[in-house]
Structure 1
């Protein structure tokens, strides 16, 4: 195993030394075995969403496609297993994903080694079969023997569970530290940004990541550049250049501003410190302080972050000493900044620190793959609740923007069908008690007594007819009703018997009644009688006008 690790380090070292000859960008980073598997899972889920509409993929399908991808890229004979569905599309999208994120996998690095090696370098330090065993997890590493056995090997005890939890915490924290450092080297790595966007918690949930991903796709940029462009437009843009209030990222302005401010601070530390070892210590310390902020002294994350930070600081110092020793042995003096360069110390210090960070990230890419593929690919939440590391597949499973032709949800469709239909007229007038149920609302007739007929012997008839628009039916004529009795509607069938003569006669009668003086009602003997006496129950009682009744009656007559 030691020889295999040394061979991998030799391949990567030669690649870093000569990569400027074949690569367009010097900031290209390397993906290890676990990162390659996560990228393949995302590509397969995207292909399944295009075919079936579901952004998901089974673990068995990922493992089968993974084995075929490794053998095909290493030019090894394929197994007799079935051909994975949509493999050609998946392979093409996988290569496109690597190019879009400015990354290379270990197989591409091994292939480029054959083109870039010098005569003094070994001919073939690593065979294709050995690389296949390493990437597929068939080779045990020296660190696996020091880890706690799994639950299948021995019964779990409280102390063993605590040790396993601490190992998980340290692994998750190490991924977060390296993701922050990788963003300083390669800002186009979307997987690194997805891991640290909400770590520590900034209020940027899956909804914020979804909106950021859509904005990046619309502008054709990376996730990091989309976030920085939005925040810069808010901070520096005027009234005509700032994004509108309806922009989908407006609701996540505070969290995105905190994230961009934190990354700006890391870049300033990296550029303003000439010594790479001091700059690396500052970077790791700032990241550690942000991850453990607000945690108690007894929290396991605090101890895990302290151990990971010390290990990274020590490793960066060792890498820097090795680089300085290699420069001295070669007999070539290191590059020095030009005197006429503006802020030459900052530029030189930043380049030296980036060189150390790339060497550190290359070593992390050579780490042995995780044996528990299900925990690596499908963990819903990281073991650290205080940091908030989320499964990558869960973050990228965000739905697309809704369109007008998309069907409604099943619950909405069921509720719409289960809603009972309302029959009849629910909202009725305050005078609905005077109308019959069998009459239509457009043929209603309102009957109100006239002012002159309230105290007369017989009240003058009054009827207000409501006819439909465009109807040729004649107006309805009300019947005489005794004072105090409730009026009833005339049926619509009687409207055909009424002519213009009836209408004129009704108007003349109403005018005569209005001009007649009001008289008191008398009995047959000529003696006036009060309507309130109980002796005469047959005679209709006199109705007194209340305040405002005459005005209300005249209003309805109009």
Structure 2
């Protein structure tokens, strides 16, 4: 086991020295066994989302695909069981995620070793494909244990070690972002650790922004925060940007990484700078926690171990000072400030050596603890499960969605104001109560005339007497109407139409009928006095004819003229003479 470990370290050292010959970026990071398995799980879940509609995958399917992946990449005979469905798409998604994250795995390093080694000084193949398969599968660590591909149930005794492994991954992820800003898994493990109110919804919004901009998650988040900080009409993101809801948490996250970048550029000694970076991450994790908290204890132990490892790497010259001089972040000749461009180079090389050593660590024995969504809660209410973070909050049910036209029409129907349609009252409506108050009661309008108008006084008494006599003359019509009113009164007042208390419904109905008849009689009398209907114009009265006897020559005329004239006869006589 010791020889295999030393050979793996030699292989990675040669790759790091000569990687500029085969890779475009010198800050390429390496995924170990655990990182490769987590990436494979994400690739399988993505393929399942495209074909089955659900972003999830069974643990047994991941372990089967894991063996096929290792044997195929190492060019070894395949296992005796069949490949999983859509295996070619899964392999393509896995390689694509590695390329997008500017990372490689240990199998890729073994494949590139023949191109990178120097024939004279470097040894031949230090690790065989079979040894690499046994190491990545976890079979070379302890031979007595059964195959590690069989998942076991997490127990309470393994919880402290699981918390420590999760905290160690968070430390290495923060340091990895200083080396490789395209590492999406590192951002997923650190975005909400400690709690910044950046849960699955915030991570999904950041993932969509990165997809739309064809960039990494870290660069998408950083670009958004920089645009908010610059402000102004031409720089600020629009109000419709989903990341607007997470400005505070994203700003805190970017600000902490800016603080780490300042430490990286200010401290010239690589060992001291690495120790300060680890101390800053430890202070962030233990802030607000008690001394007996599990995360706090794991953070203290992990920080101490990483500081010791950095000191040993610096002492052994693993940062590459004795190599060819090729190192990450090499400044260009036309750099404006050459000294500033050189700042932090040695520390970045030291951090890369630290991350390479972490990638060569033995794989996790319990694959269920590594891949299960039941991860330890380091902050907030959710665990640090990568699969749970990459899953969108809206989980598909598997059924086809409703057509867009139907959804739009349903939404318009909900927003359209609905007019209240009054129902038709039946003949039995008097036996039910109205649900709403009648309009006359809400507006407090009087339903009947005041009592002084209903009581006949003066000349209206005769009218009432005449109406009563008329009703006695026509007993058939009036009495039948009274019987109907009386029957309605016997049934009781209809809801919402009669006030409680006072006169009964029958008496008020008779009084209103008599009042209407009196008003009609008054109108008829007034129309007779004016000589006709009220709508016809008044006619002039004809003048009375007056016969006037002219005085004649007959006898007795003088006697007739001597008679006394009536009043106005003389005027009329004079009128006719003219």
Q: TM-score, normalization: structure 2?
A: 0.67
Match of 2:297 in 1: 303
Q: 2:253 aligns with which of 239, 255, 259?
A: 259
Asked if the contact 1:280–1:316 (Cα under 8 Å) also holds between the matched residues in 2, the reply is yes
Instruction: Tell me the distance in 2 between the aligned counterparts of 1:61 and 1:330.
Output: 44
Instruction: Tell me the distance in 2 between the aligned counterparts of 1:358 and 1:22.
Output: 18
Q: How does 1:10-21 map to 2 (within 5 A)?
A: 10-21=10-21
Asked if the contact 1:319–1:360 (Cα under 8 Å) also holds between the matched residues in 2, the reply is yes
Instruction: Tell me the distance in 1 between the aligned counterparts of 2:81 and 2:329.
Output: 54
- Tell me the alpha carbon deviations over residues 454-474 of structure 1, each in whole angstroms, 9 at most, x when there is no partner: 456569x9xxxxxxxxxxxxx
Displacement of 1:109: 0.9
Instruction: Tell me the distance in 1 between the aligned counterparts of 2:234 and 2:521.
Output: 75
Displacement of 1:247: 2.3
The alpha-carbon distance between structure 1 residues 15 and 435, as it changes in their structure 2 partners (threshold 3 A), is same
Displacement of 1:306: 1.8
Instruction: Tell me the distance in 2 between the aligned counterparts of 1:73 and 1:341.
Output: 41
Match of 1:555 in 2: none
1:108 paired to 2:103: no
Asked if the contact 1:275–1:349 (Cα under 8 Å) also holds between the matched residues in 2, the reply is no
Instruction: Tell me the distance in 1 between the aligned counterparts of 2:69 and 2:330.
Output: 44
Return 5+ residue gaps in structure 1 as ranges.
Answer: 145-149, 409-424, 439-445, 462-478, 490-506, 518-558
Asked if the contact 2:209–2:220 (Cα under 8 Å) also holds between the matched residues in 1, the reply is yes
Instruction: Tell me the distance in 2 between the aligned counterparts of 1:325 and 1:393.
Output: 34
1:204 paired to 2:198: yes
CA RMSD of aligned residues (A): 4.3
Instruction: Tell me the distance in 1 between the aligned counterparts of 2:286 and 2:525.
Output: 98
Greater RCO, CA 8 A, separation 6+: 2
Q: 1:213 aligns with which of 207, 210, 222?
A: 207
1:371 paired to 2:365: yes
Displacement of 1:187: 1.1
> Greater CA radius of gyration, 1 or 2?
2
Instruction: Tell me the distance in 2 between the aligned counterparts of 1:48 and 1:200.
Output: 31
Match of 2:128 in 1: 127
The alpha-carbon distance between structure 1 residues 373 and 338, as it changes in their structure 2 partners (threshold 3 A), is closer
Instruction: Tell me the distance in 2 between the aligned counterparts of 1:47 and 1:433.
Output: 67
- Tell me the alpha carbon deviations over residues 380-439 of structure 1, each in whole angstroms, 9 at most, x when there is no partner: 23164679642111111214699998259xxxxxxxxxxxxxxxx99669x99997799x
Instruction: Tell me the distance in 2 between the aligned counterparts of 1:325 and 1:231.
Output: 33
Asked if the contact 1:201–1:388 (Cα under 8 Å) also holds between the matched residues in 2, the reply is no
Corresponding residue SS for 1:104: strand
Corresponding residue SS for 1:195: helix
Q: 1:406 aligns with which of 401, 408, 428?
A: 401
Size of the aligned set, in residue pairs, is 445
The alpha-carbon distance between structure 1 residues 165 and 47, as it changes in their structure 2 partners (threshold 3 A), is closer
Asked if the contact 1:212–1:223 (Cα under 8 Å) also holds between the matched residues in 2, the reply is yes
The alpha-carbon distance between structure 1 residues 353 and 39, as it changes in their structure 2 partners (threshold 3 A), is same
Instruction: Tell me the distance in 1 between the aligned counterparts of 2:79 and 2:279.
Output: 48
Q: TM-score, normalization: structure 1?
A: 0.70
1:246 paired to 2:247: no
Q: How does 1:374-385 map to 2 (within 5 A)?
A: 374-382=368-376, 384=378
Corresponding residue SS for 1:249: helix
